[in-house]
Amino acid sequence: MLYYRLVGMAKNMQQDDFTQVDIDEFFESDEKQKDFSTELVVLSDSEASVLAKLIHFLKDDDPNTLLGIMERFGDMEKLVANITHFPSLLERQIIMGETRTQHTLIEGLLTHRDGDKMLHLPSKAILGKGFLVTKYHTFISMYRIAVNSGMPQKDAQEVYNTASIILFTIMAEDVYLDLIDDQTLPLDIRREIAYSLIVLWEHRYDRNVSDAAPVLQAVWEARRNLAPAFGTMVGTSELLLISIQMDESWTAFLREKLSVKDVSQAMEEFLFGLSYEQIQTLRTILRERGIAAIGRDEISTFLEQEIKIDVASDLRDFYMQYTVRRDNARARKRLQIPGPHHTLEDHYMRFILERNKEKQQDVSE
């Protein structure tokens, strides 16, 4: 098993008569990987490569820390082994006399339900999310270790990027659930999203995230580094600053979708770190008082409530702010009140999914 091979390697590193071990045998041999077979992806190829680099870096200078990392992966392996005992979501199963297939699961997901859907989701989906959270914590801890140990910045950044992709994979589950309930999407698109969600639950890996995550991370970093001008509250200059740093898919998204009211409103919430309602209140105050602009530190005073405008570098803050915008959007949608009914992340992921579908159709024609 992966854990015992890793721990054995770490213990060898603690011996005075240390013998060099080829890390490739642990990560790149298909034959070796066969003795830990599971539907869940414990480590993707890129994640394994990142771990291998950190092992090489720490093996001489900090073997005790390295042993701790490997023991954590051993815990993750045990967790995955337990989750794997639950029925596959992609195969036909008869559970307590009820026949379940991916198709019945998809149709169940397409049935609109208000409120928290947790009790309608498969047990494997709930348990698998816990695995991803554990995996995120592991890789973000590895990043801190890499930085504190003086690992080259480029290699340490790879560890950070890996942690961010795991976080966006966690977020993708929420986005998919929102899009599945979006009645404005064609039914065939919603079915494809439902299938993508089932695949994510089964393997805890999603190919669409690899397209969207780098852009969303870059947008987040740019948003964190700029200082929104709370004047007209339009955000044009902020959007321009963000767009300059983005790739073709982001600029195409803005070009095609920013004129959509819900998208532009969701963009403003993202840019300013304020809810739609707070933005409207500030606009009214500025207009009525004839004020051209206000400082960031004045926002709490004008709104008469404590507002956290500064954005930390911690990826968990990104997720927390996303969940606030997500919950607000869901509430507006349910109550049918003004403001964005979807988050910026919802809109961008939908754009990526639609583009990928168009590419598939072009190839098949």
Give the model's pLDDT for residue 214: 81
Confidence category of residue 104, pLDDT binned at 50, 70, 90: very high
Give the model's pLDDT for residue 348: 93
- Cβ-count burial 174-194 (b if 16+ within 10 Å, e if not): bbbbbbbbbeebeeebbbbbb
Give the model's pLDDT for residue 217: 80
Kindly tell me if the per-residue pLDDT of 27 is higher than 60: no
Between 235 and 169, residue with greater pLDDT: 169
Averaged over 215-227, what is the pLDDT?
75
Give the model's pLDDT for residue 94: 82
Kindly tell me if the per-residue pLDDT of 47 is higher than 90: yes
Averaged over 107-111, what is the pLDDT?
91
Segment holding 126, helix H or strand E: helix 123-148
Give the model's pLDDT for residue 253: 92
Cα separation, 29 vs 45, whole angstroms: 11
Locate tokens 């990928």: which residue?
A: 356
Short-list 191, 228, 173, 190, CA closest to 345:
173
Tokens of 271: 């840019």
Short-list 4, 152, 132, CA closest to 70:
4
As a whole number of Å, the end-to-end CA separation of the chain is 45
Cα separation, 130 vs 82, whole angstroms: 12
Distances (CA, A) of 68 to 20, 63, 72, 227: 20, 9, 6, 40
- Cβ-count burial 140-155 (b if 16+ within 10 Å, e if not): bebbebbeeeebeeee
- Most confident by average pLDDT, 131-140, 185-194, 313-322: 131-140
Q: Is 147 within 8 Å of 103 (Cβ atoms)?
A: no
Segment holding 98, helix H or strand E: strand 98-100
Q: How many CB atoms lie within 10 A of CB 289?
A: 9
Tokens of 90: 């992609």
Confidence category of residue 211, pLDDT binned at 50, 70, 90: confident
Short-list 68, 77, 54, 53, CA closest to 7:
68
Short-list 228, 133, 122, 213, CA closest to 175:
213
Kindly tell me if the per-residue pLDDT of 231 is higher than 70: no
The sign of the torsion formed by the CA atoms of 8, 9, 15, 17 equals: positive
Give the model's pLDDT for residue 362: 67
Average pLDDT along the chain: 83
Between 23 and 318, residue with greater pLDDT: 318
Locate tokens 């695949």: which residue?
A: 199
Q: Is 326 within 8 Å of 178 (Cβ atoms)?
A: yes
Cα separation, 19 vs 26, whole angstroms: 16
Tokens of 254: 């803005």
Tell me the one-letter amino acid at 234: V
Q: Is 74 within 8 Å of 66 (Cβ atoms)?
A: no
Question: Which segments of 273-343 does DSSP mark as H helices, in order?
Answer: 276-289, 299-303, 315-335
Confidence category of residue 344, pLDDT binned at 50, 70, 90: very high
Kindly tell me if the per-residue pLDDT of 30 is higher than 70: no
Give the model's pLDDT for residue 21: 39
Kindly tell me if the per-residue pLDDT of 31 is higher than 90: no
Tell me the one-letter amino acid at 56: H
Averaged over 315-322, what is the pLDDT?
88
Give the model's pLDDT for residue 66: 92
Averaged over 307-322, what is the pLDDT?
78
Cα separation, 112 vs 333, whole angstroms: 13
Helix axes 153-180, 344-364, angle to 10 degrees: 90
Averaged over 12-39, what is the pLDDT?
43
Give the model's pLDDT for residue 209: 83
Kindly tell me if the per-residue pLDDT of 252 is higher than 70: yes
Averaged over 353-360, what is the pLDDT?
82
Query: Up-side HSE of residue 261: CA atoms within 13 Å toward CB?
Result: 5
Q: Is 204 within 8 Å of 40 (Cβ atoms)?
A: yes
Confidence category of residue 19, pLDDT binned at 50, 70, 90: very low
Q: How many residues does the chain have?
A: 365
Give the model's pLDDT for residue 294: 78
Q: Radius of gyration (Cα) for the chain, nearest Å?
A: 23
Confidence category of residue 16, pLDDT binned at 50, 70, 90: very low
Between 343 and 41, residue with greater pLDDT: 343
Kindly tell me if the per-residue pLDDT of 1 is higher than 70: no
Give the model's pLDDT for residue 60: 85
Give the model's pLDDT for residue 78: 92
